[in-house]
Chains A and B, each alone.
Chain A
Amino acid sequence: MLNYIIRRLLYAIPILIGVNLLTFLLFFVVNTPDDMARMQLGARRVTPEAVEKWKAERGYDLPLVWNSREESLFGKAGRTIFTQKSAKLFVFDFGYSEDKRDIASEIRERMWPSLALAVPVFLVGLAVCITFALLMAFFRATYLDLWGVVLCVAMMSVSTLFYIIGGQYIASKTWHLVPISGYAGGLDAARFLVLPVVIGVISGIGSSSRWYRTLFLEEMGRDYVRTARAKGLAETVVLFRHVLKNAMIPILTGAVVVIPLLFLGSLLSESFFGIPGLGSYTIDAIQSQDYAVVRAMVFLGSVFYIVGLIFTDISYTLVDPRIRLE
C-alpha cells in the first residue's frame, strides 16, 4: 500500500510539470509580458518606460528560459521567468498578486471560509442524493419513480445561476430569513452559510441522484440480489445491506475525487454570497486579470486533483476488500 502511494506520488510529478509547462506557455509565450503590461496599464498610459517599470516591479523583466547575461550556469538557468515564476510554484511559492500581497498567505487565510461552505455542501449533498436515489430505486417502475426521474432531469436543466439568484431572492429578500451576502468569523458564519449550503445541495440533486439511481438499479439486477430475495430478506434489508454497500464503490469514485477540490470552493456561490474564500478569490482574479493569482490557482487545483485521485484509490480498498493496491 505504502509502495503504491509513493509510486503514485512520483507519477504526479510529470503531470505537475506538464501543468506547469502549459501555464507557462499560456501566460508567457502566447502572450509576452509586454502584452500583459499594455493590457494592465490601459491604452492611454502605454509608454515604453511605463511598460518597463511595470515589468521590473513584478519581476517580468527577465528572459523567458535562458539568461545569457548571467555569469554562472546557475544564474543562466535561474534568473529567468521560467524558474522565478513557474518553477517556484513547485515549492508553493506563489509570489505576489497585483495588489502586492503574498498569494500563499492569502490562500491559507481564504481556505477556511471555502471549507466551511464546501464540506457541508459535500456531506449533506451526498446524504440527500443517496436517500433520494434509494427512494426512487425502492419504488422503481412506479409513478413515484417516473416523476422522480422527471424532477431530476428538470432540476438538471436549470442553470446554477438561477438557483443562486432565486434562492437569494426568496430566502433573503422576500422572507428575510438570512442575510443576502457577507461573512463573519467564528460561529457567526453559520448564519451566512445556511443559504449557500442549501442552494449548493439543491443544485446538485438532479444529476447526482439520477446517476446514483442508475447505479442502484444496475446492482439490483445482479444475481446476489435475487439470492437475497429468495432467502426471504425484506426489500429494505436487501436495499440497505446489499445494494447500497455494493453501489458505494462507483459512488465513492465520483465523490472522493472532488474532496480535495473542495478547497477551491464553489466559484459561483462564493462570489454571489460574498464569502471570502478561494472561489471568490479566483473569480476576482479572473475579472481583474491578475495573472499571478490565476496561475497559482491553476497549479493548486491540479495538485488537489491528483491528491483526489490517490484518495479514490485508497478508498476503493476500504469499501471493496477484493481490491488490493500493488
Chain B
Amino acid sequence: MPYVLATDALVWLLVAATVTYAVYCRRHAHLAVPWRRVFQSSAAMASAVVLAAFLAIGLLDSLHYRPQLPQKGSEPKAYATEVLSVLDLGLAHLRGRSEKTYSAPLATRSYAKEQVELPDGRQMRDFPRLRFGGAHLKDEAERDADVAKRALGGLGVGILLCIAVFFLTRKLKSRTPDIPWHAAGISLGVLLLLAGPAIALCTVYHVLGTDKVGQDVFYLALKSIRTSLVIGTLTTLVLLPVGIVLGTAAGYFRGWVDDVIQYVYTTLNSIPGVLLIAASVLMMQVVIDRHSDWFSVAAQRADFRLLVLCAILGLTSWTGLARLLRGETLKLSQLEYIQAAHAFGVRSTRILGRHILPNVSHIVIIAMVMDFSGLVLAEAVLSYVGVGVDPSTNSFGTMINAARLEMSRDPVVWWALATAFTFMFALVLAANLFADAARDGFDPRVKV
C-alpha cells in the first residue's frame, strides 16, 4: 500500500516546481542565459553529476509504502506498521542481513568474541563467523581471492559503462560544444567505477562493515542521503517565502514597515543560532510528546520531527536573505523604471511582483544554493547536540553520534565514521562547487 509521508509530498512538490521552472527557463532566453553560464563551468558539470546521483537515491527513498502482511484465510488485508521505501525494496538484501554487532568491512568474522561451539562439542571463546558476511565461503582463506574476483567483475562492468559514457559525451560534445561534457563524463565515470565493485561485493559481504547493532553501514549511509537532502531543500522552501516577502517589503515600503521588519530580524539575529534552534526544537519535542495521538505509525512521528526541524531552521535563518533583498530593493526602487511605474499608477503589489522580484531573483537563487551545504553540515551538529532529527531517522548526524565513542575502542571501529565522512564530504563538496559556479553565473557583475 503506498504511503505518503509529509516530507515525501513536499519533496515531490519541490521536484515538480523545479521541473516547471526548468521548462519555463528553457522558453525564456533571459532566464536560460545565466544557467547556461553555470553549466559552462567544468566544476559545475562535475558536481552536478554527483548531486544528481545523490538526488536519485534520495528520490527513490522518498517513495514509501507499507508492505502487506501475509493474509490468513478470509481476513481483511493487513499492512505492516513499518514504512519502507522503494530504495529499501532495491536494497532488501542489505536491509535484512543484520549481524549481531560490529564487523569490519569485508570481514567474515565478528568484531567481538563470543562463546562458540567447536565441531567436537567443546565450548571456546572466539570470533564467530558472521551470519551473512562471506557466508557463502566454505574456507575463509578463499576470501581475498573471492573479494578480488568479485571486485574485478564489478570493475569490469564499471569500465564497460565508462566506455559507453565516453562515447555519449563525445556525441553530446559535438552537439553542444560549449558545455564541458567531458567533466560530467569523468565524474560519472568515477562514480561508476566506485559503484561497480561496491554493488558486486555488497550482495555477499558488508562492504563498509556493520554498526553496533549489526546493521550494514553502506545501507545506513545510503538511507542518510534522503535526510540530508530533505533538510537542505525543504528548509529553503520555508525560508524563501518569508525572506522574499519581508525583505522586498522592507526595502520597497520603507518607513514604519521597514522599521518593524528590521526590528524583527535584528532580534532574531541577535540570538545565537544554535540556541534559538535548540530552544525551538526542545519546545516542539514537548508538543510532539503531548500529542502522540497525531501519529499512527512511528515513521510518521519521526517524519514530523524532521519536517518541524526544517521549519525551525527555515524560520531562524531567513534573516540573511531578507537583509540582502532589502538592500537590493532599496537600490532598485530608486531607478527610473520603478519611478515610471509609480507615475503610471501601478499598484505596489504589482510593482513588487513584476518589476522588483524578477530583478532580485538572482540573489534568491544564489542564496538557495549557497545555503544547502551549510544546512547539511548543520544537521550533523544539531544531531550531536541532541536537537536534530529523531534518533530513529537515519542521518549522517545520528551515524556520527553513534560512532564517535567507538574511536576509543581497540581495535578502532573506524568504518562507520569513515563512511559518514566520505558520503557527507562528497555531498557537501559537490554542493559547494556547484554553488560557487551558480554564484559566478548569476552574478550580474560578471561580464557576458
Contacts and interface: CB of A to CB of B under 8 A. Distances in A.
A153 to B, nearest CB: 5
A168 interface: yes
Contact of B429 (A154, A264, A267, A294): A154
A302 B404 contact: no
Given A154-B429, A157-B428, A160-B377, 10 more contacts: A15-B270, A23-B279, A35-B286, A158-B428, A159-B380, A165-B400, A261-B272, A267-B274, A268-B384, A305-B271
Contacts of A297: 272, 275
Contacts of B172: none
B279 A27 contact: yes
Contact of A306 (B270, B282, B287, B407): B270
Interface string A154-192: 101111111001001100010000000000000000000
Contacts of A27: 279, 283
Interface in A246-287: 261, 264, 267-268, 282-283, 286-287
B152 to A, nearest CB: 30
A26 B290 contact: no
A19 B385 contact: no
A173 B407 contact: yes
B385 A26 contact: no
Interface string B391-412: 0000010001000100110001
Interface in A4-51: 14-15, 18-19, 22-23, 26-27, 30-31, 35-36, 39
Nearest to A29: B283
B49 interface: no
Given A159-B377, A264-B272, A18 B279 contact: no
B425 A305 contact: no
Given A27-B279, A39-B289, A298-B275, A165 B404 contact: yes
B210 interface: no
A17 to B, nearest CB: 9
B429 A298 contact: no
Nearest to A21: B267
A295 B421 CA distance: 34
Given A157-B373, A298-B275, A15 B266 contact: yes
Given A268-B381, A287-B386, A305-B269, A158 B425 contact: yes
B267 A22 contact: yes
A294 B282 contact: yes
Interface in B400-441: 400, 404, 407-408, 412, 417, 421, 424-425, 428-429, 432-433, 436
Given A267-B274, A283-B385, A305-B270, A36 B407 contact: no
A174 B162 CA distance: 40
Contacts of B400: 159, 161-162, 165
17 contacts: A19-B271, A22-B271, A23-B279, A27-B283, A35-B286, A36-B286, A39-B285, A153-B432, A157-B428, A157-B429, A159-B381, A173-B407, A267-B274, A268-B381, A286-B282, A302-B267, A306-B270
Contacts of A22: 267-268, 271
Contacts of B263: 14-15, 18
A28 B59 CA distance: 39
Given A162-B421, A294-B275, A153 B266 contact: no
Q: Say what secondary structure dominates the interface of chain B.
A: helix
B275 A153 contact: no
Interface string B250-272: 00000000000001101111111
A120 interface: no
A224 interface: no
B356 interface: no
B283 A31 contact: yes
B267 A286 contact: no
Contacts of B290: 35
Contacts of B264: 18
Q: Looking at A161, A286, A305, which has the most chain B CB atoms within 10 Å of its CB? A: A161
A302 B266 CA distance: 10
A303 to B, nearest CB: 8
A301 interface: yes
A21 to B, nearest CB: 9
Nearest to B268: A22
B381 A31 contact: no
A301 B429 CA distance: 31
Interface in B280-308: 280, 282-283, 285-287, 289-290
Contacts of A165: 400, 404, 407, 417
Q: Looking at A31, A268, A287, which has the most chain B CB atoms within 10 Å of its CB? A: A31
Contacts of A157: 373, 425, 428-429, 432
B267 A19 contact: yes
A30 B387 CA distance: 17
B272 A305 contact: yes
Nearest to B269: A305
A289 B271 contact: no
Given A19-B267, A159-B424, A282 B283 contact: no
A302 B289 CA distance: 29
B278 interface: yes
A169 B271 contact: no
A173 B408 contact: yes
B195 interface: no
A22 B282 CA distance: 14
B388 to A, nearest CB: 11
Nearest to B264: A18
